[in-house]
Structure 1
């Protein structure tokens, strides 16, 4: 990583708040980056959101940092940035030099090809999911009209409850580096009940974070 004036920017991304809170996915990405850098210091940027979204504030901060300090952007895997060729092209146009740990010697052409392959895989996953849902519907796995309305109502209430609980995280001292069991303990000690007026377990915390 010689020739750069500042430590590289390490960009890590997970798709859900639950993954960010539990550390799932982040540790593997961080280890891959640290192996490549071989003890070199770096500035870390962590994004928690879906890869389908084009707006990523932490990535923008990482790019600004690289521009300002003439540093390189390092990621663990190319598809951590996006399964979208247009997005990768836009990143290249920023002028920031970046590399993926799993393809450290890839040139611009290879990065385009790899991004296209990742995008195609994402499309196929979506098609397989739709096909599975259609097959389930044909087998009669379908809620009645009243059942659908009730399911939507319950889901909305669960989401609103989860958002309300999440707003108390700062007050309770709940942080991203805490695991599910620790979060459950803090919620229980803080007198916070589940939506069904019960106590918190790892599984109920996981469901809560999935809805935030």
Structure 2
């Protein structure tokens, strides 16, 4: 039987992280642990350095090209938030390349497609609600233009921002729940142990930063 071939896709958010290796060792270790055992070969490791200002992913395109050339499976070290990136999912689905997500092994093509569709719909809904709230504020006589911001307008804008943040956090928690359940199933039972696993996988907490036991409890509740 021929060896299975894999191309690993790692990503960091800044060029500095890419240079320093921060987070990369954890991703490499996660890929190695997932592929442990069996007869396989790693064709190449591809690193994506995300700028946050660009929506294109040249390294992903290169990784998909390698997969097609070598008839390999793409191993994604960190899918997490990429599952909510419509452009990423579109490229992945249209490529026809088989893939594995180390941090979301349950994420087959159907699941990822649904996640992306939900993300797109939710982003559109949040945008519409934000515009509607600002339009309502304007209809009440709140001046939305100009360089000076009245206390009333500032409070209204803050309320809209809080609503958007709250909806975003709620959506993130809904997506994190099955990941936490998977970690529990692997043997991590305490809140602190689950938080440590989430940090090891470099999955951000709903409001950003590192996980703590209390944050895990909030998701589970």
TM-score by length of 2: 0.47
TM-score by length of 1: 0.49
